[in-house]
Amino acid sequence: MTHPTRAELGRGFCAPGSGKLETKVSAEDGQIVGRQRSSSADAAQLVVALTGASSGVGRAAARAFAAKGAAVGLMARGADALAATAEEVRGLGGQAMTLPTDVADADAVERAAEALEDQFGRIDVWVNNAMVSVFAPVAEIAPEEFRRVTEVTYLGVVYGTLCALRRMRPRDSGVVVQVGSALAYRGIPLQSAYCAAKHAIQGFTESLRCELMHAHSGVRVTMVQLPALNTPQFDVVRTRLPGSPQPVPPIYQPELAAEAIVAAASRPARREWWVGGSTTLTMLGNSVVPGIADRYLARNGYDAQQTGEPVDPRRGDNLFEPLPGDRGAHGDFDRAAKTRSVQWRITRHRRALALAGGGGSLALLLRRGR
């Protein structure tokens, strides 16, 4: 997959910094892991705050930003996975600051932002990605479980965005990337708490975008709407289903989502980025014939979210506390997951297609995207 150059990433929202060279190689809380650099990022280096950074989409995004030489503040709860992510960021040429954080705690998010800004001098991009979920019918989800999903998946985005705005608005520069889903527009059975949180993020982001436009602010907010992805979420999510949870096919690899997040950070004037043909079909279809979608999901939505394997009764979950260990970016569905998307190639390069008249370029993208 291709990514924007470092110059593209930094254009428009990097301010110069300076400081004495120092080396910090500890991956302990709030410490730098990376190459020897100044304590403040220079103008060519992007400084990224990334929530949910230790697993799945966040892990893939940390790698993608690191490959461009970014300094990445890694926010997540699990110490083992955070340390492993930091090592990967360093190996790819970036810098990492581990920031153990539960995004449901607004004060903790603010402390993480302060630490990252103190170390690197600024925050250029804030990516809100952290999430938890519960797989169960509405009547089987407890009030405290609804509250927890809302606090992490929705309010975590609000708290992160507020931290970003406090730092970006005085500079009149910066980008907030909200990691959304097709489920921000279309609810599905068995994931009511998660769908509700993603809908809330969508409404919050639209309100904020209008306010920034009204203020003629240089701060940008954009949202990336993702398809079903092969992440470890399905191994750690709380579930009351008889079958093991799975993403609804078609399934894509998390690196595709990471590419979209990096693209959104570099071109935030686009209000939304849709990723995957299934996302486009879901969102457009629901806007035209939502009743048909209701009936289809009532018939097929239960089986589509479960494998044929029963749930392990010893299975733990990460709803309230992180599970030990490091699960990386990929889940158990590598064989079924797609690494590329024709739709994404078209939307990623739509300006070039328009300038080229569409025909020949579209044919080329289709051939490459098979």
User: CA–CA distance from 218 to each of 10, 41, 124, 168, 370 (Å)?
Assistant: 14, 21, 12, 9, 38
Q: Is the dihedral of CA 350, 351, 353, 354 positive or negative?
A: positive
In 3D, which of 152, 164, 16, 10 has the Cα closest to residue 77? 152
pLDDT over threshold 90, residue 7: no
pLDDT over threshold 70, residue 19: no
- Contact criterion met (CB below 8 Å) for 132 and 239: no
pLDDT over threshold 60, residue 35: no
User: Rounded to whole angstroms, how far apart are CA atoms 240 and 136?
Assistant: 5
Confidence of residue 350 (pLDDT cuts 50, 70, 90): confident
pLDDT over threshold 80, residue 224: yes
Q: What is the DSSP letter of 30?
A: T
What length is written for the chain? 370
pLDDT value, residue 347 = 87
Q: Is the dihedral of CA 133, 136, 142, 146 positive or negative?
A: positive
Confidence of residue 5 (pLDDT cuts 50, 70, 90): very low
- Contact criterion met (CB below 8 Å) for 35 and 90: yes
Say what percent of the chain tops pLDDT 70: 83
Exposure of 59 in the CB half-sphere (CA atoms within 13 A): 25
pLDDT over threshold 50, residue 294: yes
Strand partners, 179: 224
pLDDT value, residue 357 = 61
Mean pLDDT, residues 116-139 taken together: 98
User: Rounded to whole angstroms, how far apart are CA atoms 100 and 159?
Assistant: 15
pLDDT over threshold 60, residue 360: no
Domain 8-339, CATH class in plain words: alpha beta
pLDDT digits (tens, 9 = 90+) for 70-112: 999 999 999 999 999 999 999 999 999 999 999 999 999 999 9
For the annotated catalytic residues, the residue numbers are 194
Q: Which two tokens stand for residue 199?
A: 């809908």
pLDDT digits (tens, 9 = 90+) for 264-291: 999 999 999 999 999 999 999 999 999 9
Q: Where in the chain is the domain with CATH 3.40.50.720?
A: 8-339
- Write down the pTM of the prediction: 0.86
Chain mean position to CA 360:
33
